[in-house]
Amino acid sequence: MNSLKSIALNISIPFFISAVLGSMLFYEDKIPKIIFSIVPYLFYAISALILWVSWHFNRNRFIFIILPLLLIYFGFVYLGGKRATDLFLYASMLYPLHLLLFLSLKERGLFSIWGILKIAFFVVEIAVILYLVIYPNADFIALLKMKLFVISFYPLEDISIIIAILVIFIMVALVLFNRYLLYNSSFLVIAVTFYMGFYFIKTSYAKELSLLAIGVIIFILLIRESYRLAFYDELTSLPGRRALVEDMAKLGMKYSLAMIDIDHFKKFNDTYGHDTGDEVLKMVASKLAEVGGGGKAYRYGGEEFVLLFPSREVDE
């Protein structure tokens, strides 16, 4: 289970972004109208930036996360009337499930067989929604709008609320128990922000601010993920050799360093397999990460680790 401190640190940044932009709705009369008028253009700009950075750094899941939001917003702006209302209905039910699906899928490249399957799924998904919006079926829409709760969650339908509870419950569980806390915490806030934007959709600028908040959260997640890939070891989640070099450049004259090697690890790996060996590395890393005395653990490479103690003598 992830520690409460780690959860709080990882969830605080996306939550702060969502809260700051959401709070603008309460001060609409005090904020110049020009600020609100440029929010859609800021959303377009941050979306374009996300698409470019995602492509450049092979973080393709974000392409499939931001593109539907752009299409949904275009639909709200250009469809209008009954079609926009139907789009709202389908988007409120399907996008959170779409978000959960792409959170669970691994990065396997955009033009691999897995990437092509993702593209095909996305195209079919959009085509089906477009068909349902252009050629509405009254009986099907009535089924989706069926009343399940005594209280009203208007403008969200009851089925949307059930899906919201399911998706958020799963994401909370992932935040608590899954090791990819950076992703899970951000996607949880994205899901909540999406629902809040849709719930207050009749409030001026609510959908624009919620979409902008989601865009900013995704972009910052991309930057944090790029930093993690550069400076942290994927297997053990410890800082890697590059992080060690960076931190050693900041040291003064006084420091201590311990090189740690797992004895007979190659023999253990050959006997029990690499998967078991990986579990041993993760277990050792988790113990070293708990070092006290101001020390910091790094994975140097293979079965080698480093403990660095800034401003400490060996006998300290």
Per-residue pLDDT of the chain (316 residues; tens, 9 = 90+): 667 777 887 889 999 999 999 999 888 888 898 999 999 999 999 999 999 999 888 888 999 999 999 999 999 988 878 999 999 999 999 999 999 999 888 888 888 888 899 999 999 999 999 999 999 999 999 999 999 888 888 899 999 999 999 999 999 998 888 767 788 889 999 999 999 999 998 888 999 999 999 999 999 999 888 888 888 888 888 888 888 888 888 887 788 888 888 888 788 877 888 788 888 888 888 888 888 878 889 988 888 898 888 877 766 6
Check: CB of residue 110 under 8 Å from CB of residue 60.
yes
Residue 80 carries which side chain, given as an amino acid letter?
G
The pair phi, psi for residue 146, each rounded to 5°, is: -60, 145
Separation between Cα atoms, residue 118 and residue 72, nearest integer Å: 19
Instruction: Tell me the H-state helices in the chain.
Output: 4-23, 33-37, 39-56, 61-78, 81-104, 113-134, 138-144, 158-177, 181-199, 206-231, 241-248, 265-272, 274-288
Query: What's the CA angle centered on 142, arms 78 and 86, to 5 degrees?
Result: 10
- Distances in Å between the Cα of 249 and the Cα atoms of 89, 210, 226, 228 are 55, 41, 21, 19
At residue 70, the 3 state secondary structure works out as: helix
Q: What is the pTM of this model?
A: 0.85
At residue 146, the 3 state secondary structure works out as: coil
CB neighbours of 145 closer than 8 A, spacing ≥ 6? 89, 157, 159
Q: Which superfamily does CATH assign the domain made up of 241-310 to?
A: Reverse transcriptase/Diguanylate cyclase domain (3.30.70.270)
Could you state, in order of their start, the residue ranges of all structural domains in the chain?
4-230, 241-310
- The tokens for 277 are 């060996």
Asked whether the bond before 310 is cis by omega within 30 degrees of 0, the reply is: no
Q: In the block, which residue shows the tokens 């969830």?
A: 11
